[in-house]
Amino acid sequence: MQVWALARSLDALDSLTKEAGGDVRPLTFDAADPAEPERVAKRILESGVPRVLVNNAGIALSAPLGKTSLDDYERTMAVNVRAPYLLCRELMPAMAKAGGGRVINIASTAALKGFKYTSAYCASKHALLGMTRALAVEFAPKRVTVNAVCPGWTDTDMLQASAANIAKVTGRSHEEARQTLAQMNPMGTLIRPEDVAELCWFLASDAAATITGAAYTMDGGEAA
């Protein structure tokens, strides 16, 4: 099974490519650039129609509304909404023509509820969920399912950056900042990226053939 892995630099994919032993095909991709989705989609389609598209690039900016610049807003929307939209536009018709496929959009609990100081991020993730539902209805007759995964605070580079910012502002240690984020859900734990990947694997499988337009929360009970 061939998997295309996209990142801003090939160096970021080096360990993944080595671990996969040739099953991963690395490709540079800057989600903030509006021309990039068409370029990478063309490159991917040259080698065949993909069965699964996972849109998981994302950025999170935290600031009060009055301190959220237009550039911050536009970059957040570009990476979190425009890039997934354009990749879907370029790849989903080919998937439908080939007989079906799966699209999995990595959203957030911020697609389901509001969080203070993250108005641009919440707006982008709400938009991503709305897009998910609209495309699910449009492509259901064509056997292309579209679903969203909505994790809580997940132990990724994005979380590390948020914890560093909390530590800087509050004077807490980095580990104390991580625990603050973990305590935002009733289970008091951070979400593991591996668990998010397992859910994506299920949604990409034959067992999920009739699941579309869904928003799966993986948040330790936060949204409840």
List the chain domain ranges: 52-218
Mean pLDDT, the chain, integer: 94
The CATH architecture assigned to 52-218 reads 3-Layer(aba) Sandwich (3.40)
Kindly state the average pLDDT of the residues 135-141.
98
Ramachandran angles phi, psi of 200, nearest 5°: -60, -40
Residue 127 tokens, joined: 């938009």
Active site residues per annotation: 121
- Could you count the other beta carbons within 10 Å of the beta carbon of residue 28? 14
Question: Which pLDDT band holds residue 155 (cuts at 50, 70, 90)?
Answer: confident
CA distances from 110 to 124, 128, 149, 158 (A): 9, 10, 11, 14
Helix pair 83-97, 119-139: axis angle to 10 deg: 10
Distance CA 77, CA 124 (A): 5
Instruction: For residue 190, give the nearest of 200, 199, 179, 201 by alpha carbon.
Output: 179
Question: Which pLDDT band holds residue 19 (cuts at 50, 70, 90)?
Answer: confident
Q: Are 151 and 106 in contact (CB under 8 A)?
A: yes
Model pTM score: 0.92
57-73 pLDDT tens trace: 999 988 999 999 999 99
Q: Which helix (H) or strand (E) holds 44?
A: helix 36-45
